[in-house]
Amino acid sequence: MFRLAQLWRTTTVRLTALFIAIFVIFAVVLLGLITWQTSVQLQRQQTDAIDRETMQFKRLDSDGGFRATIIAVQRLASQPGPGIYYVADPSGQLIVGNVTDLPPEVLAEPGTYSFNYSKPRLFDDPDSEADDAAPQRQGYAMVRSEKLPSGLILVVGRDVVERRGFTAIVLQWFAVGAGGILLFSLVAGVLTAVRVLRRIDTISSTSNKIMSGNLSERVPVTRRNDEFDALATNLNLMLDRIEKLMQGMKEVTDNVAHDLKTPLTRLRSQAESALRDGQGEETRKQALETTIEESDKLIKTFNALLMIARAEAGTPSGALSEIDLSAVVTDVAELYGPLAEEEGLTLETDIAEGIRINGNRELLGQALVNLIENALKYYEPAEGKAGRINVSLRRDGSKVRIEVADNGPGIAAEDRGRVVERFVRLEKSRTEPGSGLGLSLVAAVAQLHKGELRLEDNAPGVRAVVELPG
């Protein structure tokens, strides 16, 4: 279980605490406003009731005289409730009412007053025993004093103790509600933070395992399809890509070591042979020529690797610009036409004119060169069948397709995905010249241009398709 200090140091908990604080403050303010408005409304209702009764008594006094007023006040004063009624003669002597005495200023000047008073229980509870020892109930009154047309002094009011008691109850439940909101908010916040941190810890744990060398680890994905699952899915895709790249790097390293060890060994043997005593000038000259030839092959291999790396990194030698792809394909096809004739093959073209795309002329030309050279290098003519290589360029909807097809032995379906990897050569003896990087470069160039390389069956032969956005 997480310690409190560990939880508080996390951004998740701090944000959760901030949201809880905002919510609690808003809830407390809202409840406070409701409580205050409730108290104000109760006070307003009592004030309206006092004003209404005062006006009724004044009309009654004007219409029916002081006797009707005294009878009406006596009837209301004898009823239980918070009402306060008091009628005095012009000198201030009590005639009828349910309070024992009033402050002198209430009787002296008309107006609104608030004061403490004593109220006999005789008038508060009709069922109580009426005797001289009956205790009086203390209260706090809000009254209005008026001088009636008959000369009587009328005091009408309400006992506000019950209203204050009700307000106290509202405040009490307001405190309970605020405390409950705070408590449940804290519980919900802690549970939310712990749940989020557990998901984050799962990702961190997986990352630690991967950093320790276990590249096959993946972040668990739940069935909730929430933002953490989306993050985990993207991380897993990234880890799949990294694992594939690491595996490819290992294979490249192994293949580089294998393919470069033999020519370097030959270079060293030739150099040692040329340096032996008794070797003639012709032998040394031949050794130097062999060294230059092997060095050129090594340079070509490294140049191909460098070009693939640049293409895969998206930083080709020269920015992408608008080029005439039809002219590029035409130039390469014309360059290799005579070479194909020397090999006993016919190079046919079907190139649409005026196709322009945004690309790198050097890389696209090199990719097409590699495809044609592969067709020339690995073509095995069948007896009685004329060899043919078709180079075509056409626009297909929003795509541009470059195709190099032959009618040779082709490539087995299970090898078409593997042959585009670096240093992969289907010729097992590896006696043919080459480094196994030709199709890898083509695939990298297609990827740089947001396209793809596909190897398809030409029935017979193989058809290499480079599909680029038009």
Residue 127 φ then ψ, to 5° = -85, -5
Residues 353 and 228 in one domain: no
Residues 95 and 49 in one domain: yes
Domain of 278, CATH number, reads 1.10.287
Pairing relationship of beta strands 399-406 and 356-359 according to DSSP bridges? unpaired
Residues 228 and 170 in one domain: no
Query: Would you state the pLDDT for residue 3?
Result: 53
From 159, 184, 210, give the residue that closes a domain.
210
From 152, 184, 210, give the residue that closes a domain.
210
3-class secondary structure, 460: coil
Residues 334 and 188 in one domain: no
Residues 231 and 164 in one domain: no
Residues 305 and 386 in one domain: no
Query: Would you state the pLDDT for residue 1?
Result: 45
Q: Which structural domain range is residue 384 located in?
A: 321-469
Query: Would you state the pLDDT for residue 383?
Result: 58
Query: Would you state the pLDDT for residue 445?
Result: 84
Query: Would you state the pLDDT for residue 404?
Result: 92
Query: In terms of pTM, does the model score above 0.85?
Result: no
Residues 354 and 229 in one domain: no
The pLDDT tens digits along the chain (470 residues) read 445 566 566 676 677 778 778 877 887 788 778 878 887 888 888 888 888 988 998 898 888 888 898 889 888 888 887 888 989 888 888 889 888 778 888 888 899 888 887 766 544 444 444 444 445 567 788 889 999 888 899 999 988 877 777 777 877 887 887 788 778 877 877 787 777 778 888 888 888 888 887 878 888 888 888 778 888 888 888 888 888 777 767 766 766 666 677 677 777 877 777 777 666 777 778 778 878 877 877 777 677 666 666 666 655 545 678 899 999 999 999 998 888 888 888 899 999 999 999 888 888 888 898 899 888 887 776 555 678 899 999 998 889 999 999 887 777 777 666 677 665 655 543 445 555 677 888 888 888 888 899 888 887 888 999 999 87
Query: Which residues lie closer than 8 Å to 413 by C-beta, 6 or more apart?
Result: 457
How many separate domains does the chain show? 3
Residue 57 φ then ψ, to 5° = -65, -35
Residues 309 and 326 in one domain: no
Query: Which residues lie closer than 8 Å to 237 by C-beta, 6 or more apart?
Result: none
Domain of 418, CATH number, reads 3.30.565.10
Residues 201 and 236 in one domain: no
Residues 230 and 270 in one domain: yes
Residues 83 and 194 in one domain: yes
From 281, 313, 345, give the residue that closes a domain.
313
Residues 304 and 388 in one domain: no
129, two tokens: 């025993």
